[in-house]
Structure 1
Amino acid sequence: MGWNSWNTFGCDINEQLTRETADSLVSSGMRDAGYRYVNIDDCWAEPERDAAGELQAHHERFPSGIKAIADYVHERGLELGIYTSAGTRTCADSIPGALGHEETDARTFAEWGVDSLKYDNCHNQGTSRPPSATLRATGRPIVYSVCESGESAPWEWAPEIGTPMAHHRRHPTGAGNRQHQVFPMGVIDIIDFNRELADHAGPGAWNDPDMLEVGVHDVDEFAGLTDTEAVTHFSMWSIMASPLIAGNDVRAMPPHIRDILTNREVIAVDQDELGEQGTPVRDDGDEEVWVKPLANGDKAVALFNRGPRTAMITTSTDGIGSDASTHTVRDLWHRTETTTTGEIAAPVPSHGAFLLRISPRS
C-alpha cells in the first residue's frame, strides 16, 4: 500500500511534491490506514549517468538528492520507492535504464535507503526477465515490483525470483492507460484479465492490476470516475488482493475521496493475511458475485453490477460456500449489519459494487 506519482503528475515531479505528499499521507490518516510507500515514478534522474556510470537525481527537480528524500520519508514512518526500467532508457525516455548497470543501480538504490523498486520493461533490447539477484545482494530488503506489462507472463516466473523479497507484477492493461480508461472499459478490462490469474496470487507474489484512479481527474482529458465507480474500483481491487497504490494528489483530496481510500474495513479485506485473491462464483453477464475467503473463516463478497441500470443482485450462503445456519452480513461501505439464514441480496447501482463481510454465527 502506498502512493505513486505517475497517474496525476507524470514527469512533473520534484522533491517539494514528494515531501508534501509524505506529510499529507500522515496528516490525512492514510499512513495509519496502511499506506506506507511514497513511490517516485519516471523522470526523477538526470538524462545521463555521471562519469562513474551512476544515476544522479535530477539537479533541478531533486536538488537535495534521493538519499535526503528517503531520510525525510523515513522520519515520518514511511518508505521510499523509486523507478527504473530493464532497458537502455525508461518508458518516458527521460532517464537511463538499468540494462548493463543492474549491480551499480541496485547498490545505489540501497545506499540511498530505497525500500521499493518499480522495474519497468521499456527499451529492453529483447531482455524478458528483469533480474532480482542484484537487489538481494545489497542486503537491503527492497520490495520488487515487476512492471513489464505482461509481455512474458510474469505471473508464471516472477514468484521464483522474489524470495526473500515481497513483490508484485503488473498487467498488460494498466489503469493509467487512459485512452481506455472510460468506465466501464478500462476498469472492467483489467478486472476481466486479473480474474484469470487468481491461481498465481498469494503472499509474496501479488497480481498487480496497476495504480488506483480513485480521486484522479482532469489529467490528460481524463474526467475521472464517478463516486460510485470509485467505490467499485476500490472494492474490486480489494477483493482481488491487489496492491493499493493511490495515484491521486493526496495533498488536495476532498473528504469523500479520503474516506474511500481509508475505509479500514475494506482495506482489511485487501490485506487479509490468508492472501487469497477473490474470484467470481456467479457471472450473469452484467451481474457478478465474487468471493474471497478470509483468514478468520469469514467471506468477503462483492455484488458487482457492470450494467447500465440498477440491478438486484442475489446470492446465498450456500452459493458463497458457507454451510452455517445463520450469518451476519456486514456492509463495509454503508457500515450496517443484518442477519441472514440464506439469502444475500442488494440493489446495486449501475457500475456499482456492494462489498460485504459474511460471518458465520452457528
Structure 2
Amino acid sequence: MSVTKRFWLLVVWGFSCVTATNAQKTSAIWLDDLPIKSFSEGIPAVLPKTTAAGDSIVMRGQYFNRGVGVNATSILAFFLDGKATEITATVGVDDKGIKELPHTFYVIGDRKILFDSGEMRLGDVPKNVTVKLNGIKRLGLLVKVDDAGRTKLYSNWANARLVMLAGHRPENIPNSDEKYILTPAPAPSPRINSAAVFGARPGNPFLYTIAATGERPMRFSAKGLPTGLLLDEKTGIITGKVSLPGTYPVTIRAKNAHGEATKLLKIKIGDTIALTPPIGWNGWNSWARNIDQEKVVASADAMVKMGLSQHGWTYINIDDAWQGKRGGKFNAIQPNEKFPKFREMVDYIHGLGLKVGVYSTPMITSYAGYIGGSSDLENGDFPDSIQANKRAFRYVGKYRFETQDARQLAAWGIDYLKYDWRIDVPSAERMSAALKQSGRDIFYSISNSAPFANVNDWVRLTNSYRTGPDIRDSWNSLYVSAFTLDKWAPYGGPGHWNDPDMMILGNVTTGTQLHPTRLTPDEQYSHVSLFSLLAAPLLIGCPIEQLDAFTLNLLTNDEVIEIDQDPLGKSARLVLTENGVQIWLKPLEDGSFAVGLFNVGDFGKTPESYFRWGDETAKPYTFDLAKAGLKGNYRLRDVWRQKDLGVFERTFKTEIRHHGVVLLRLFPYTPKSVTTARP
C-alpha cells in the first residue's frame, strides 16, 4: 500500500472515530424519567407521563405518552452547568383544562427568555419547542397562568426531553449560600420567654409552662396564682383548674445561680382561649404517613433536649395517619397499631410541659386514606371496601361523629385538633360546638384553604384557619402563602389566627423525600420574620432531632418570637411597596412597632423573576419612616442581632439581601434635648 493511500485511510479512519466520539457525547433524557417533583418550585401538583390530575395527556384530541403535566402557574428549575445542548417539547393546554384562561409557556436560560409561546388556550394547536442550550447553566421552564385561586388549570410539557453531554444529568438548583448566624447565644442568667397572656375556660384543665433560658438548675415561683392552680417549682409547669372567670395578674419568677427574671403573666379565665398563636411542631412535613408513636415521643424529647421548649415552643402535633377504627367508650376514632400506648404517650408529653395535638377530618376518609369523622354507615364502620377505594370517600357522610370524637380527644388529654380538607361552614360549626362541650380546652385549627368569603365564620368558629394551599419549600410558595395575606390581616387576633400553614425550615418532605429546605438562608430569615409579624401559628414541620445550628438559631431568637406572641395580637399590615421592597408594620402592646423590610425584588412581575440565577445581590435601601406612617423619633433595634442601632428621625439607611429582610423594632423616643442620631 502506498504512503499516500495509507495516509488517506488514516484520515478517513480518524474522521470516523471523531464522528463516533461526537455521537456518543450526548444523550436524550426525558423529563418524565426524572424525579420531576423535586425540580418543581410551584405549588400545585407536577406529574410525569400524565396530566397534573393523573389522566392521559391530551391536547386538541392528540394523545401523548411522554411528558410532564402541570397545574396553574408552574415553575420547574434545573441546574445544567453548561452540560446540555438542547431541549425539545410540545406545549399546550390539556383538553381537561379551563377554556377561558390563557397559559403562556417560557423557556428561560441564564436570565434570557429563549422561548415564549404567547397566550395559549384550550383548543389551540400545541406548539413544538426546540431550544438550543449550549453553555446554559440554569434552566427555567415556566407556565404562567393568572389563576386567581382557581384549580384544574392543566397544561403540559409533552414529549419534553433534554439533550445532555453523555454522563451528565440535570440537578437541582444549588442551595449552598452561607448559613450565617445573627442571633447571639442566650445569657446564663434567666430570661422568661413564655407568652405574657394565657386563656382558659372556667373549670377546664389548665396547663402552662414557664419557658425560660439560662443555666440550670433553675427554680420557678409565682405570686398571685388564682385558686385551683399549682406550680411545680422545679419544672415551671402550672396545672389545675380555675372555676371563677376573670383576669388574674400573676408575677412569675425564674431564678438560678446567675440571677433572676420576672414577668407579668395575665391569666384570663373566660370564653376565649388561644390568646396568642400556637407555637410548636407538626409531624406531616417530617414523616407524612410514616409517623408513629416512637417518632412522636422522639420529637417531644428533642424539643426539650434541643432547648426549644425554653423559648416557648409547646405543641407536639400528630398529623394524618394515626387513626385506626371506631371503638372504645364513645365509639370514637381509636389509634392504629402504630400507636400502641396512646394515652401513656400523651401523659408523657404533658409531663415534659408540652401539649399534644391530633388530626381529623369531617369526611369519610382523610387525605392519607384513614378513617374520618363521618360515615355512610350508621355505626361508623370502616370496612375493607372503603379502604380499598379511599379517594372515592372524600366527602362528608350521612352519619357524623363530632360529639363522640371530641369527647374521646378530651378524655385522652388532647390539646389541639387540626380539622382538614376543604372545610365547609356546617362541618366547622358542628366540630366547634363539640369541642367547646367536651370539657377540655382544645385548640381548633381548620385546614385546608378556608375560603376568604367565609372569614367571619372562621373567626367565629375556630382558633385558626388556613388562608391558602399547602405550603412548599420554595420562595414562590412562601410568597403566595405569606406575602399576599394583607387582606386577611384585620380578621386575625386573640382567639382566631390567620394560618399560612406550617413552616418550611430544616429537613422537610413537602412532596418529595426528606431533604433540606430549598429556601436560601436569606429566604429563611424572611420566612420566620414575616410569620412572626403576621402573628401566625409557628409550627415547624421538620424532624426536631435533625436541626442544625443555623435552623436552631432561627427558631430560638426570643425577640422574634416575642413579636409573634405579642398580647395585642395584631397582624402586620403591608404599608408600603417601593423599588422591590415591601414594608410590613405591626403595632405591639407596649406602644412600639415591629417593622420588616423585605427585599422581594420584582418577583412575579417578569418571567425571569420566578427563578434563582445565582447572581443576585443585596439592595441598598433608605427606609422613610413617614411613608410608613411613623412620625417623630424612634429608637431602632435590630431584632435578629438583638442590637440597638440608635435613635433616628425621618430615615434609616440599610442594605437588604436578595429575598432577605431587615427586622426592626421601633420604640417611640422623646429626647430631653435634641440629640438624635442621623444616618
* TM-score, normalization by structure 1: 0.90
Q: Where do residues 243-254 of structure 1 align in structure 2 (5 Å cutoff)?
A: 243-254=537-548
Deviates most, 147-156 or 283-292: 147-156
Q: 477, 487, 499: which is aligned to 1:196?
A: 487
Distance 1:111 1:153, change over 3 A: farther
Q: 221, 234, 237: which is aligned to 2:531?
A: 237
Q: 84, 88, 105: which is aligned to 2:364?
A: 88
Equivalent in the alignment of 1:63? 340
Q: Is the contact made by 1:3 and 1:247 (CA closer than 8 Å) also made in structure 2?
A: yes
Corresponding letter in the other structure for 2:401: H
Q: Is the contact made by 2:635 and 2:667 (CA closer than 8 Å) also made in structure 1?
A: yes
Q: 201, 209, 213: which is aligned to 2:504?
A: 213
Q: CA deviation at 1:293?
A: 0.6
Q: Is the contact made by 2:320 and 2:360 (CA closer than 8 Å) also made in structure 1?
A: yes
Deviations 1:291-310 (A, max 9, x none): 10111111101010112532
Q: Distance in 2 between matches of 1:109 and 1:217?
A: 28
Equivalent in the alignment of 1:103? 403
Corresponding letter in the other structure for 1:120: D
* TM-score, normalization by structure 2: 0.49
Equivalent in the alignment of 2:283? 5
Q: Distance in 1 between matches of 2:454 and 2:555?
A: 28
What secondary structure, in the 3-state scheme, does the structure 2 residue paired with 1:106 have?
helix
What secondary structure, in the 3-state scheme, does the structure 1 residue paired with 2:627 have?
coil
Q: Distance in 2 between matches of 1:331 and 1:73?
A: 35
Q: What are the ranges of 5 or more consecutive residues in structure 2 without an aligned counterpart?
A: 1-278, 375-395, 602-615, 671-679
Q: Where do residues 276-295 of structure 1 align in structure 2 (5 Å cutoff)?
A: 276-284=570-578, 286-295=580-589
Larger of the two Rg values belongs to structure = 2
Q: Is the contact made by 2:507 and 2:546 (CA closer than 8 Å) also made in structure 1?
A: no
Deviations 1:184-221 (A, max 9, x none): x1001112332211111111111000110111346515
What secondary structure, in the 3-state scheme, does the structure 1 residue paired with 2:653 have?
strand
Q: Is the contact made by 2:464 and 2:496 (CA closer than 8 Å) also made in structure 1?
A: yes
Corresponding letter in the other structure for 1:304: F
Deviates most, 102-111 or 149-158: 149-158
Q: Distance in 2 between matches of 1:152 and 1:207?
A: 11
Q: Where do residues 310-329 of structure 1 align in structure 2 (5 Å cutoff)?
A: 310-325=618-633, 327-329=634-636
Q: Distance in 2 between matches of 1:137 and 1:267?
A: 32
Q: Distance in 2 between matches of 1:298 and 1:198?
A: 19
Matched, 1:129 2:129: no
Q: Where do residues 1-362 of structure 1 align in structure 2 (5 Å cutoff)?
A: 1-46=279-324, 48-50=325-327, 53-59=331-337, 61-65=338-342, 67-98=343-374, 100-121=400-421, 129-131=428-430, 132-151=432-451, 153-162=453-462, 167-175=463-471, 178=472, 181-183=473-475, 185-217=476-508, 220=512, 223-224=516-517, 225-284=519-578, 286-307=580-601, 308-325=616-633, 327-339=634-646, 340-362=648-670
Q: Distance in 2 between matches of 1:260 and 1:315?
A: 24
Q: Is the contact made by 1:37 and 1:79 (CA closer than 8 Å) also made in structure 2?
A: yes
Q: What are the ranges of 5 or more consecutive residues in structure 1 without an aligned counterpart?
A: none
Q: Distance in 2 between matches of 1:350 and 1:143?
A: 37
Q: CA deviation at 1:228?
A: 1.3
Corresponding letter in the other structure for 1:314: T
Corresponding letter in the other structure for 1:31: S
Distance 1:127 1:301, change over 3 A: same
What secondary structure, in the 3-state scheme, does the structure 1 residue paired with 2:576 have?
strand
Distance 1:148 1:154, change over 3 A: farther
Q: Is the contact made by 2:631 and 2:650 (CA closer than 8 Å) also made in structure 1?
A: no
What secondary structure, in the 3-state scheme, does the structure 2 residue paired with 1:70 have?
helix
Q: Is the contact made by 1:168 and 1:205 (CA closer than 8 Å) also made in structure 2?
A: yes
What secondary structure, in the 3-state scheme, does the structure 2 residue paired with 1:2 have?
strand
Deviates most, 86-95 or 235-244: 86-95
Q: Distance in 1 between matches of 2:665 and 2:632?
A: 14
Q: Is the contact made by 2:576 and 2:628 (CA closer than 8 Å) also made in structure 1?
A: no
Distance 1:125 1:273, change over 3 A: closer
Deviations 1:144-164 (A, max 9, x none): 1111422464422122224xx
Aligned residues: 348
Q: Is the contact made by 2:492 and 2:571 (CA closer than 8 Å) also made in structure 1?
A: yes
What secondary structure, in the 3-state scheme, does the structure 2 residue paired with 1:158 have?
helix
Q: CA deviation at 1:90?
A: 1.1
Corresponding letter in the other structure for 1:137: Q
Q: Distance in 1 between matches of 2:570 and 2:626?
A: 20
Instruction: Provide the alpha-carbon RMSD of the alignment.
Output: 2.0
